[in-house]
Structure 1
């Protein structure tokens, strides 16, 4: 009986892979995405390109909770920012290569997420969101007060890009991008494995009907905590790379507005799609960079207006709407073929 909730959970849009059931389309998308990631710093300023892929992983990590578990977290800045600080401190004080520092930051984010997740998942809906926000603000306050370690309002400055003595990576943003990209791609692959594993199917079942999942013997709170910790770990990977990329960790990385920004990216691209987080991060960062480089001051006003328009015109987000129409067209074709076969 317990197996049935994994394989026969009510199918929703988020349950269907973004490419439908055609593996050829899936492989084409993966190839296009990989080529785009490799080519990005040739067309975009490399530090901005690194921000795009780091924030894309951040959005994907949040989507594991929001789109696949049904939990809206407004506190993920705590894991993004705390990992950035730990990564920066280890890289600065111990001279560790940045992949080691980033991994340490991700582990710290997961450790931090364990008690927060354990206490937060006992609530749902807006109450869960507010509890995570409260914990995140506590972490922000601690970082603000502990200025001797974090730098307080001045932030953590002079974070090095130590990479086994390879000068090109340590001094050139272009080469650093390619050295750090495997960390981001590994995190994205991990998110894909989580979503498409039996564990991910249980998360979807909990999202769709937690009472039924509990009645079938699944420890709902336990699965939610594990999903919360895994999401925090992936967020930590992204936050650590972001810190190394900038060579600086600002206190704003722990602020609630950072959590709101990544929620915006996820919704903009499409909840429960994974690819939507990538597209949402790309659109948001590129728009903000374009407006900033043109000297425009009201960046938040424009991005907020774009978000409202997308929500009104694309109910499922940009990628979610494209995917939905593609799947609907395939379904209509299959139905027509089935009807034709029946008549014959």
Structure 2
């Protein structure tokens, strides 16, 4: 008799095979997305384009945990900001090319997520969110007190963009964007591969009904910890790239408002859509930049108002609403 996990794995493989035979619309959308990513620094200021890309990857990392595992984390700033500091320290003190420094920062984020995940997944719902927030604030306090290493309130400044001695990439934000974009695309591909693997199907099953998944023989807590660590690694990759792009890492990257901002971006784009984070990141980052350059005060109030309006108009987020409309159109035709 075939075991339940093996059966679910076979069903997941069959579902992936059928998904690959769908209409070419997904390939059209993929081509449009790649074209938009390549043309972004021509449309907006290149550092702003890199901010959008980094926050998009950050939102996708959170959606891997929130949308597909059902865990709302208010402490992902710990991995974004922790990796930002470690990436900066490695780039400054070792002088390696920035992709290597970002890799070290991402590994640090994953190691940091192991104990936090083991302690956090024992709770659920709002309690899980509060536990992750508490750990993130602990790291914020630690970074603020360890001034000799982190710079305290002044932050870690002078982070170089070493890239195998290619001066054009190290000094020009326009060319740096195209050097950093493959890292973002690789992270997005990794998230897509996780979701569409048998492991991702188990995460969705745990999100929908953890008791039933446990009855089928899956170690629910172990899967949650693994998803938590993978999400932290992608968040750390985004945070390291963000610090390299700006040339500094500050306490703001570890603050609870950073965790709140990525939750806002994810909800705007659409929870459980994976790619909705790119739309939410573009909307929020460009809105904040426009408000800041226009001299507006109270940016948080305005972005919060936009968030409420979008959530009321698009109950499933922007991309989630588009996806639902597409599904309804298919069912009618």
TM-score band, normalised by the shorter chain?
Answer: over 0.9
Listed as ranges, the gaps of 5+ residues in structure 1 are 10-14, 334-344
**What's the counterpart of residue 6 of structure 2?**
3
Shift of 1:236: 0.6
- Aligned-pair distance for 1:311? 1.2
Q: 196-205 or 19-28, which moves further after superposition?
A: 19-28
Runs of 4+ with >4 A deviation: 4-9
CA-CA distance at 1:295 after TM superposition: 1.1
CA distance in 2, matches of 1:70, 1:322: 22
- 2:73 aligned with 1:79: no
CA-based RMSD: 1.6
Cα distance in 1 between the residues matched to 2:298 and 2:139: 29
C-alpha separation in 1, matches of 2:21 and 2:250: 43
> Counterpart of 1:68 in 2: which secondary structure?
helix
Task: Note the C-alpha offset of 1:275.
Answer: 1.2
Matched residue, 1:171: 171
Q: How does 1:167-316 map to 2 (within 5 A)?
A: 167-316=167-316
Alignment of 1:109 onto 2:112: no
- Contact 1:6–1:205 under 8 Å retained in 2: no
Aligned to 2:327: 327
1:56 pairs with 2:59: no
1:22 deviation in Å?
Answer: 2.9
* Residue segments in structure 2 that go unaligned for 5+ positions in a row: none
1:141 equivalent to 2:144? Answer no
Name the structure 2 match of 1:339: none
Instruction: Note the alpha carbon deviations across 1:69-93, whole angstroms, 9 max, x for none.
Output: 0000000000000000000000011
- Counterpart of 2:127 in structure 1 is 127
**1:69 aligned onto 2:69:** yes
1:33 corresponds to: 33
Shift of 1:147: 0.7
Whether contact under 8 Å (1:90, 1:101) holds in the other structure is yes
After TM superposition, give the deviation of residue 329 of structure 1 in Å: 1.0
- The normalised TM-score by structure 1 is 0.92
CA distance in 2, matches of 1:222, 1:270: 26
2-structure distance, mates of 1:296, 1:130: 32
Sort the Cα spacing of 1:301 and 1:328 in 2 relative to 1 into closer, same or farther, 3 A.
same
CA shift, 1:8, in A, is 6.4
**3-state SS in 2 of match to 1:161:** coil
- Note the C-alpha offset of 1:5: 4.4
Q: Does the 8 A contact of 1:137 with 1:256 survive in 2? A: yes
1:57 to 1:153, Cα distance in 2 relative to 1, 3 A: same
Residue 47 in 1 paired to residue 50 in 2?
no
Instruction: Pick closer, same or farther for the CA change 1:320–1:158 going to 2, 3 Å.
Output: same
- Deviation, structure 1 residue 298: 2.1
Query: Residues 124 and 30 of structure 1: is their aligned pair in 2 closer, same or farther, counting only changes over 3 Å?
Result: same
How far apart are 1:47 and its partner, in Å?
0.3
Q: Does the CA contact (< 8 Å) of 1:5 and 1:213 recur in 2?
A: no
* Separation in 1, partners of 2:257, 2:23: 38
* Structure-2 separation of matches of 1:202 and 1:7: 12
Change (3 A) 1:291 1:21: farther
C-alpha distance in structure 2 between counterparts of 1:20 and 1:286, whole Å: 34
Worse-matched range after superposition: 294-303 or 238-247: 294-303
- Cα deviation, residue 294, structure 1: 1.1
Distance 2:173 2:297 in 1: 27
- Describe the SS at the equivalent of 1:67: helix
Q: Is the 8 A contact 1:116 1:135 kept in 2?
A: yes
